[in-house]
Amino acid sequence: MAAPTVPQPGESAPREFLHNLRRLPSTFKGAWLRLGKVPESEREESQATFHNFFLHIHSVRVHVRTLAPTLTLGLGLIATASFVLLCITGVLLMVYYKPSTELAYQSMKDIHFTVATGRFVRNIHRWSAHVMVIAVFLHMARVFFTASYKKPREFNWLIGLSLLVVTLALSFTGYLLPWDQLAYWAITIGSNIANSPRELTDAVGITGWFDPGGFQRRLLLGANYVGEDALIRFYILHVFVLPVVLVILVSVHFWRIRKDGGLARPEDSMGGPAEWGGQMRPVFQPLASKTYGLMALVRGQRPPVNRGPENTLMSWPHLFWAELAVFMLTVLISLALSFFFDAPLKEIANPAIPENPAKAPWYFLGIQELVSYSAFTGGLVIPVVALLGLALIPFLDRRPGGEGIWFGTPGEGLVAGRSALFGLVLAVGMLAFTVNFGWLRSWLPQIHQLWILVINPGTLLVLLYAAWSLWILKRKNSVRLAAVALFTCFLVGFAVLTYFATVHRGPNWEFYWWPSQWPVH
């Protein structure tokens, strides 16, 4: 018996009930998916995008340049995808993890040994965190070298910077939670960096009544040592405060992308050929016989009239295929790493047995290398100056041009290459010099600490990088190229320092060619 398609008026209520019950799957599907089927026309594809809560932040059509894998390398998405993975695995870990110094380590062992696939889930959490930190760094570099911070995207660059800081904070707070030796001593080092203003106040002799370093450290740890209070603080920051902040900032970040007109790209040229069998065609073909009025307010210098082929494709399905692919690629990377490499878990935290060398998480090792010269300048002044410098870039470099093109400003590739070489040689040279000849304290043991605070390999490196950038500014007569010079130098310097401190620093922060040469204590 074929079910009647429409209930007849005057039919009895029981019949209507049965009728509706029978049609439940399709009515539910319609209610849920709104469209109720795979979109077939561009109109339906548009609806699929903007009728969906999760998709509606995308525009309906996406520029073909945005889709090209070489523009973004998918880095922002990789960071987002790893954050999603981190949230999922993080919640699973929270089920078993107990944030107390008495129980934390035991609960880690339980997760490792007895929780079904607990070891695997923890590995994914660990590796995704590393993937996220790396992706965020590279994403920043991508945005810089494609000049995508330029007007109107200045503010989104700032949000991106805040996201970098929050990402590092998330990873750092998570570092303590296993409560093993690695965690304990890495956080001890980290909190000592927070304590570093003491170097200045001690040198000047005012720590007694003005002690911002001690205050920062106590604020972070809730005590003068890494203990129960620090653990619960880090836990709350790690599982609640920072993720919420990150989600809010990421939402704004995405929203601004949309409002700023999608990813940065150069102006389209007129009259490009329609590609891909007519899927990509000009959306707007002005007719000479008609006049056009402005139908909506959009940002930009002029209304998008007479602009010709916009080189756009439907977001559904092209953009969503791309996003899904990058997401799954991130999942694959994390899974593969997690399958083959276990996340480290050392002995239970023991304040009586210091790790030597005690190293901070890898992304802070460059800073730790600077801290080994001077805690205050290396741990606070230089990072703050660097962040401030990064924040100022879009406000100092305001000449349009090169947006959305790798090394798009004329001469940029050359400057970037030379700066990379300059930054590399200088950083390596400075490290080699310091390792071989020591620094002021080794030559003049009685020297006042203030001198070392001001003149150390870290500050010299920063000053020389700045000088190089100023020289480029004068010689090339371009703010953008000066920014490229400085950014490249800093990026290379950061990479060199991080690599150096990771591989070549051993017990007592002494130089070794390889960790295998570290003396057994």
Partner 1 sequence: MNHPSRLYRWLLLGSSLVSLVFLVLAAVQENYFSQWQVVQRQYQSLLKDKATDERGQELYRSFRVELRQVSVPGLNAVDRCVSCHVGIDDPRMTDVPQPFAVHPGDILEKHPVDRFGCTVCHQGQGPATNFLDAKAEDAFWDYPLLTAELTQSSCLSCHDPERIPARQVELLVAGRQLYEEKSCGSCHRLEGRGGTLGPVLDDVGSKTRHQLTMVNLDPPHTTWRWHQAHFRDPAGLVPGSQMKNPTVTEREALALTVYMLAWRQRDVPESYLAPDKIEQKFRAFHPQPLGGEQVYRQYCLACHGDGTFGQWNKTFQRFIPAVRGPGLRAVATPDYLEANIAQGRPGTLMPSWHRQAGGLLPEELRAVVAYLQRGETERVVAGSRVPRGDPDHGERLFAQNCIGCHGPAGRGGAAPELANPTFQQAATDEFIVTTIRFGRKETAMPAFQRPGVAGLTDAELADLLAYLRQLAPPASGQAAALSPPGTKKGGGLP
Residues near partner 1 (CB under 8 A) are 64, 67, 69, 106, 109-110, 112-114, 116-117, 119-120, 180-181, 275-277, 279-280, 313, 317-318, 321-322, 324-326, 328-329, 331-332, 335-336, 338-339, 344-348, 350, 353, 519-521
CB of 78 to partner 1, least distance (A): 12
CB closer to partner 1, 165 vs 329: 329
Q: Burial of 389 by CB count in 10 Å (0-12 exposed, 13-18 middle, 19+ buried)?
A: middle
Burial 494-506 (b: 16+ CB within 10 A, else e): bbbbbebbeebbb
The two structure tokens encoding residue 265: 């790209």
CB of 355 to partner 1, least distance (A): 9
CB closer to partner 1, 111 vs 393: 111
CB closer to partner 1, 120 vs 509: 120
Helix (H) or strand (E) holding 312: strand 312-314
Q: Which of 511, 369, 373 is nearest to 441 (CA)?
A: 373
CB of 63 to partner 1, least distance (A): 12
Locus of tokens 């057994």 = 520
CB of 359 to partner 1, least distance (A): 15
CB closer to partner 1, 181 vs 196: 181
**Amino acid, single-letter form, for residue 258:** R
In contact, 128 and 135? CB cutoff 8 Å: no
CB closer to partner 1, 185 vs 465: 185
CB closer to partner 1, 11 vs 347: 347
CB of 117 to partner 1, least distance (A): 5
Pairwise CA distance, residues 397 & 151, whole Å:
10
In contact, 154 and 90? CB cutoff 8 Å: no
> What residues are paired with 313 via a beta bridge?
62
CB closer to partner 1, 18 vs 38: 38
Pairwise CA distance, residues 379 & 368, whole Å:
7
CB of 181 to partner 1, least distance (A): 8
CB of 284 to partner 1, least distance (A): 20
Count other Cβ atoms within 10 Å, centred on residue 209. Answer: 6
Helix (H) or strand (E) holding 63: strand 61-63
CB closer to partner 1, 436 vs 508: 508
CB of 136 to partner 1, least distance (A): 21
In contact, 66 and 265? CB cutoff 8 Å: yes
The two structure tokens encoding residue 474: 């004068």
**Amino acid, single-letter form, for residue 37:** K
